[in-house]
Structures are given as C-alpha cells and as structure tokens.
Amino acid sequence: MVKHNNVIPNGHFKGQTLKYNTKIRAGRGFSLEKLKAGDSTPEEFGTATQVQGSYMPIVREKPTVELVKVTEEMKSFKAYDKLRLERNNKRHVGVRTQEAGMFTVPQTIGSVLCCKCGILMQPNAANMCAKCLRSEVDITEGLQKHLVIIHCPECESYLQPPRTWMKMQLESKELLTFCIKRSKNLNKVHLVHAEFIWTEPHSKRIKVRLRVQKEVLNGAVLEQAYTVEYVVQDQMCESCTRVQANPDQWVAAVQLRQHVSHRRSHRRTFFYLEQLIIKHDEARNAIRIKQMDQGIDFFFVNRSHAGKFVDFVGEVAPIRKRNDKQLVSHDPKSNNYNYKVTFSVEICPRCREDLICLPPRVAASQGNLGPLVICTKVTNSIALLDPFTHRRCFLNAEQYWRAPFKALLSSRQLVEYIVLDIKTDSSAVIVGGSKYVVADAKIARVSDFRKNDIIFNVRTHLGHLLNPGDYALGYDLYGANSNDIELDRYKGFVLPEVILIKKSYEEKRQRKQNKPRSWKLKSLNMEIDNSTRGRDHEEKMNAEYEQFKRDLEENPELRFNISLYRNKEYQPSEMASETDGEDIPSIPIEELLADLDLSDKELEDGSMKE
C-alpha cells in the first residue's frame, strides 16, 4: 500500500490510499489530447490508465507512477487494443517493447545466506551452498568403486556372467558399456557422463570416471563424480582351453553334404553357402572347420551352438537332417552321461540352371507344369520355370524330400551355341521379378560352326537378351543319350532339340583373361582333407570358383544376399579402360564394401562366443 497525497484534477482520490493496480478512469479534467500533448504530469495518474474503456497496467517496484506514452498508432482504438494484446502475449520482462512504445523494468533475483557457512548465494531448495551440501550428503554412498572382471588373454574376450564371452578392445565403447553394466546400484542415481582414465596396459587395471546426479534435501539435485577401479583377472575361456588342451575335444559336429553324382558334382552350392555363413557370422562359435570331399564339417564345443547353425542352414537351403550321439563317459555314482552329438545335414542336390524332368505326380500337383523345367533359384525352396509357358512354381524342402527327383542335365553339360537369327513372338513377361520374352531362334553349335550345316530352330525364353551374333549356353538334347526313367513315363512327349539357358560372354571374357577384378570375396579358415586331393582336383576347384564369380557378375539376384568387398590391389590399366565399354557383366562399385581388417584372429574366431 502506498500513500499518495497528490491531488488529481478531478478530485476523486485526494488523500486516499491507492494500490499499484488501481485503475483510474478518464473523467473530468482528463482527455486523450491532453495526455498526448504532455500537459498532464505523472502525479495526476495512478499506476494504470484506462483510455475510453481500455486498461494498460504498468508494473514497477518503486511507488512512482510512470506515464504511458501513446503513439500515433493509438489514435485508432482498435489498433490500440491490438497492440495491448500483442504486448500481453509476449510478456518479456526487462525487454523494450518497440511496438507498444512501453519500457519495463527487469526483475532481479535475490540472494540469501547459506544456513551453514553464511556466504551469499542464490536461493535453492536446501538453502545451502554447494560445498556445504556435499559435506552433508554423499550420493555415491552404496555405489561400487572396486570390481573384478574376467579376461581371456588368448582371444581378448571378457566374461559376461554366467557363460557369455564378449570380444572387446581396450578403451572401446563396447568395453565402457560392459564396465558400466557391471556396476551395481547405478539405478538409484542418474548417470550423466562416463569416461576412461588412462592406465598402463600391463597394470591389469581399468579405471572409469562416472558423473552422477541425485535428488537430495528438499528436492535439490546434487551432481558428483567418482572413480571406479576394475581389476582384470586372466582366465582362459572354455573354447580356448579346449584348443590348448586338444583341438579335437568337440562336443557337437555338423556334417554338411550334397550327394551329387561324381560326373555332375560341383561345389558352387557350397561356395554360395560359405558367403552366407560369412555375412551372418554363423561360424563364430565353431572351433574347427574342415573341408571334405562332398561337403564341410563344423565342430562346436556346445550342442546348442550346433543346433543354431543347423537351423540357419535350413533357412537358406532345402535340407533334411538327422542326429546321432555317441557315449564318451559315464559316472554311475552321479548318473551323468557325456555324449558327442553329430548332426548329418543333407543339402538338396538340385542346383541352379539344372534341367529337370518332373515326375508325373509332382507335375500334376503343380497344375501340370512342364514336364521339362529349369531350376532358376535355390534358397530354402526350389524355383522351377517352364521355358515354353513361363509358368513358375516353388517347392519347399518338405515337398522335395517327399518326392525327390533327379536332374536330366546339369550346368557342367552346357554347350555353347551361336545365334544366327532371332524373332520375338510376344511382349515381355515379368515372372518372379525376372523378364522373359518368347522368341524363335536359329542357332548352331560353336564347335560345328563353319564345319557343317547343322542348324537348329528352337523356341526360347531369352528373346530379350539374344541378338544375331550373340552366344548362348544351352542343353543339347539332340545328341544327348537320355535314359531318365521319369521321361519315359510321358508317352508321346517329343523332346526339343535344344533348350537355351543363358547368354554367354565367353568370347568377350577371353580378352580380359587373367586380369584382376575390382572386387573380392572372403573365405572361411578351413582345414583341407588332402587324402582325396590331387592336382586335377585342385584345378577343378579353381575352375568352379571362377565360374561362381562369373555367376555373381551375371546375376544381380544371386549376389543380393552376400557381401562383396573392394580389392585394394586392383589398379585399372589403359587396356582395361578400353574394354570396359564392351557388353560384359560387371559388379558396380556402389555394391562393394570396404574391407575392414581389424585382426587375423578376429576374422577367424568372430566377435562373440558362448
């Protein structure tokens, strides 16, 4: 309350007590023109003025009255009200409001004395300064400051209780997260910051500085930093112990096999499966990998790891499996048995580009498909395509193993042809994401070209790819000696002379023979069984691996699920730049990944094991 003794011209509040927010209505002796002209003095008005029904309050600390300046825009009452509303919406104390023509006095924050030491401070919930508050309350009480972690010196892994071993580098983000999770009672405080404190690598000590916050007296929030020391104890993990003692001490083994006749056998299926295993890091728990004559063996120290690996193979290939166990030891007192478990996994022998004659029962179940079909893709199901009708079907593992069928001809029996003339009969048809065009073509065997006049008139589904003068690979049914039992069941069925499978780039590849590629593939660290290997076998493996690389270049769908890496040693030459413009399939550089080699052991063992 403020006592005002000033006499207002109209005589309404002479000698009366006024509040700061007292509203004074314009009456006798008051006019807007007088206010604008400046004839009225501040003593003539209270803390607020109403101009023809509109109020404008003024906030001040001192009991002085400030005159409100009325600008030219306030001539219109509507404009005046608009400026008043804009000023009330902003509510910025201490900021000059240019639009409204008003000045405000900034509010200052008061200071109080600390209840413990008496120094001047800004007020808080506890009314104590930071030093006194820390002396009264320790928010790190009950938090662990000394811990022990288990480290394997062989594989650089740390034990995550109870049985998981995680591979981490010193002062890495993963190791910092691991150390923080090992500290108990951190859920009682709020973690703000964490960082490593440098220690000698041979000191077997890891120090981490943690900064935490916690609400203390009367809602005040206190922040405090403290150091946690971790003592590193060396202890070999289970797998490293087994390897050091005896590498053959495995508990479970997975035998991958693909039983194909020796005349048609190839390892391109295993090459593709190997790349899938590398991409998904499914062999990280294997202590040993051995390459056999018709497959690969994987050895594990835990049966659950072997079971997970078998499940992964079943997701990417049509398989059938069985398992057997062998008794290793038996303790009659505790009635404990130790077994060695072997999983036998047989992969479907049908491969991509195989020519198949479907059994009548299978063809009828698929809507009388075929009977001659081409295997276009093998994942966890088999994709079959009729090259004459463009019909397509999929057989899962259960359907195939219920009624298995053989291949009439395999990709190793493909013959190269030259296209003499081609004429398309229909527009393009999209089947399963692939484009096909039916066409009539005149072709001749490359081996017979210009030697005899044997020309074949065939119908093919590759009309969108082939042009006169191109080369194509196909199956020669004209000179083949087929003794397939399933084919004999179709009475009256006439075999076509040739079935083309794909376009050939062999002649163009001869110009770039023995030249490095801009990409490369990774491989598993496998032991090789030399009992059945020879020089011919090694040459055959190299030829099949080269053919697998060509398949990756020609088929983008095939390389969709695998990882390709840039070859750092590749340097394009001038001749290579001249031949790059030719119609030769290649892998774009956008699809290549940078090869990140951290360490040799990490590539062999993986990043986590249990």
Q: How do residues 352-380 score in pLDDT, each as one tens digit?
A: 889 999 999 999 998 888 889 999 889 88
In terms of pLDDT, which residue wins out, 222 or 374? 374
Q: Which residues contact residue 270 at a Cβ distance below 8 angstroms, ignoring those fewer than 6 apart?
A: 256, 258, 295, 296
| pLDDT top residue among 457 and 488 | 457
Local confidence band at 479 (pLDDT 50, 70, 90 cut-offs)? confident
Taking CA atoms, 526 is separated from 38, 274, 521, 533, 565, in Å, by 100, 11, 15, 15, 20
Q: Given this model, what pLDDT does residue 230 score?
A: 95
Question: Are 461 and 496 in contact, with CB atoms under 8 Å apart?
Answer: no
Mean pLDDT over residues 378-405, rounded? 90
Q: How confident is the model at residue 126 (pLDDT cuts 50, 70, 90)?
A: confident
Tens digit of pLDDT for each residue in 262-286?
A: 555 567 888 899 999 999 989 988 8
Q: What is the pLDDT of residue 105?
A: 66
Q: Are 250 and 340 in contact (CB under 8 A)?
A: yes
Residue 339 identity: Y
- Local confidence band at 514 (pLDDT 50, 70, 90 cut-offs): low
Contacts with 290 (C-beta within 8 Å, 6 or more apart), sequence order: 296, 297, 299, 526, 527, 528, 529
The predicted pLDDT at position 253 comes to 93
Nearest to 369 by CA among 347, 384, 381, 383: 384
Q: Mean pLDDT across the chain, nearest whole number?
A: 77
292 confidence band (pLDDT: 50, 70, 90): confident
**End-to-end CA distance of the chain, in Å?**
79
The pLDDT value recorded for residue 83 is: 60
The predicted-structure confidence for 316-336, as pLDDT tens digits, reads as follows 999 999 999 888 888 888 888
**pLDDT above 80 for 55:** no
Instruction: Report angle CA 137, 141, 142 to the nearest 5 degrees.
Output: 150
CB 208 within 8 A of CB 194: yes
Whether residue 489 has pLDDT greater than 70: yes
- Name the packing angle between helices 268-280 and 535-554 (round to 10°): 70
Highest mean pLDDT among 88-92, 93-97, 101-105: 101-105
User: Could you tell me which residue, 30 or 379, shows the higher pLDDT?
Assistant: 379
What pTM value is reported for the model?
0.63
CA within 13 Å, CB half, 231: 6
pLDDT the model gives residue 586: 76
Cα–Cα distance between 568 and 546 in angstroms, integer? Answer: 20
How far apart, in whole angstroms, are the C-alpha atoms of residue 461 and residue 439?
Answer: 6
Look at residue 227 and give its three-state secondary structure.
strand
User: In the predicted model, is pLDDT for residue 254 greater than 90?
Assistant: yes
- Of 103-107, 225-229, 322-326, 496-500, which gets the smallest average pLDDT? 103-107
Residue 532's pLDDT band, with cuts at 50, 70 and 90, is low
